[in-house]
Amino acid sequence: MAVNSRLRRHASYLCLTLAKPLQSHPSMPLLAPFAKLTPRRPVRAAAVAVLAIALVASTSADAAGIIRDAETESLIRDYAKPIFEAAGLGSQVIDIHIVNDRSFNAFVVDGHNMFIHAGTLMTAKTPNQVIGVIAHESGHITGGHLARLRGQLSRARSAALMLQILGLAAMVGGAFAGAGNIGQAGAGVAFGGTDAAMRMVLAYQQDEESSADQAGVKFLNATKQSARGMLESFEVLAGKMIGITGINPFLQTHPLPQQRLVQLRELVMSSPYYDAVDPPELQFRHDMMKAKLFGFLDQPQALFNRYPETDQTLPARYARAIATYRQSGIQVAQPQIDALIADKPDWPYFYEIKGQFLFESGRVVEAVPPLRKAVELAPEAAIIRIMLAQALLGTPNQPNVEEAISNLRTALAREDSSSMGYRQLAAAFARKGESAPGAARQQYLAQAELASAEAYFYEGQLKLAKVQAKRAKAGFVDGSSNWIKADDILAFELPKTDD
């Protein structure tokens, strides 16, 4: 996790910025994109969709960041996939972003981006409760709600511009620049301020809420899942009008009059799948996700109270290992992590946090083997590959540079807008150029400059991106793929939006 600049000493890969920073808060494992990009110039604008979301480094005390974590996002994708397919959204790229906020909230801003507060995940006792929220929000997408806003966002094609349209303060930090700490690998977005604008933009009409309820239940029925979780979540919210800092934001944007609850309850209880329960393995993953979030987001002592030593379940031990590292460092936490690995050696995220914590503690060479194992067990996790590459580049061995480049190429094929990935790729090509002769050296340096340009681009630093792209372009053959990539950046201009 990467965190607020005030907290970088403990930062790492779960890319998180704190809404109200704690002076000794850690970090979590990183992830990246906001939208997928493919071809060149016309879609390059869409590629900017990660400018403010890809990485996290806010300086606003009132800002909440985007959490990126391989384990959490993998689970949320598995929650969402059958719902999206039932809703006819299976072929539509929809990214789910986890907002670092302990309140209960979820919202969509267009047909491609859904936001869920960490508090929603941490509050939910079962997967079904989160799945119910996803189903409801999918109902807003299929219902065509927020159509005017969606039109503006479609024209903006940029996360940074999305946030401007929404009236949210996006403060992109330059934590990558010159950062030698894996925790500083985050840069990013701050959702902040303008609560009134947020409510204005996200407020749903009552008939749209009822429509989303009905659609959500329909999608759950189609997947043979209970809608009880959706009902349970909304019933709790209805009786809990006050959130952490006032009226719960979900209730501000998703009105819950009694009549709507009555209708939803009747609809849910009439479902033939009302008594369906989550599979045990899914519940286990849910409990592990919650333990990880609490481990990183709770103050250590609060975490130890939440998961006392008497609780010897795997999730409780997971949470305590993370909190122990945050409080006492790797020397004390490592035996706990090793015990977790011994009990469940096929769980990639135990190796991930071990490698992460070792790297952050300056034990770079020791961090490489557990991160390699994590990649072996979770080959699709681009974030872990990027973390491994950074650790490899932190060692003096030249062969490790080739392995780092291989992992970065694989990661960027999946997350082609990861600023962090490009930043590490630039470092890798620069290392290659140091020992290469003549023309080969120039090619490696040109590739390093191009990767640096991409990193600046996705960080939202367009002027610096163009400076690097101009240098890179001069080192490539006219019309080559790398020349075109550099030219794309030079030609890119921020799209204008309607007033």
> Does one domain contain both 117 and 235?
yes
Pick the most confident of 26-35, 175-184, 219-228, 410-419.
219-228
Lateral strand order in the sheet of 95-99: 66-67, 95-99, 113-117, 106-108
User: By the 8 A CB rule, do 30 and 2 touch?
Assistant: yes
Output the pLDDT for position 460. Answer: 81
> Does one domain contain both 62 and 178?
yes
> Does one domain contain both 103 and 240?
yes
Domain boundary, last residue among 216, 251, 269? 269
How many angstroms separate the Cα of 191 from the Cα of each of 147, 166, 483?
22, 10, 35
Tokens matching residue 488? 């794309």
Output the pLDDT for position 262. Answer: 85
> Does one domain contain both 158 and 84?
yes
- Strands of 219-313, DSSP E: 242-243, 246-247
> Does one domain contain both 326 and 258?
no
> Does one domain contain both 258 and 320?
no
Output the pLDDT for position 18. Answer: 28
Within a domain: residue 287? Answer: no
Within a domain: residue 139? Answer: yes
pLDDT in tens, 344-393: 999 999 999 999 999 999 999 999 999 999 999 999 999 999 999 999 99
Domain boundary, last residue among 269, 290, 325? 269
Is the pLDDT higher at 466 or at 197? Answer: 466
* The residue count for the chain: 499
Within a domain: residue 93? Answer: yes
> Does one domain contain both 443 and 338?
yes
Output the pLDDT for position 151. Answer: 55
Output the pLDDT for position 236. Answer: 75
The number of domains in the chain is 2
> Does one domain contain both 245 and 126?
yes
Within a domain: residue 25? Answer: yes
Range of the domain at 133: 5-269
Within a domain: residue 274? Answer: no
Output the pLDDT for position 54. Answer: 33
What sections of 361-437 are H helices per DSSP? Answer: 364-377, 382-393, 399-414, 419-435
Q: What CATH code is carried by the domain that includes residue 378?
A: 1.25.40.10
> Does one domain contain both 259 and 316?
no
Whether the pLDDT of residue 186 is over 70: the answer is no
pLDDT in tens, 161-170: 444 444 432 2
> Does one domain contain both 243 and 366?
no
pLDDT in tens, 39-71: 233 333 333 333 333 322 222 223 347 888 999
pTM attached to this predicted model: 0.78
Within a domain: residue 499? Answer: no
Whether the pLDDT of residue 93 is over 90: the answer is no
Within a domain: residue 67? Answer: yes
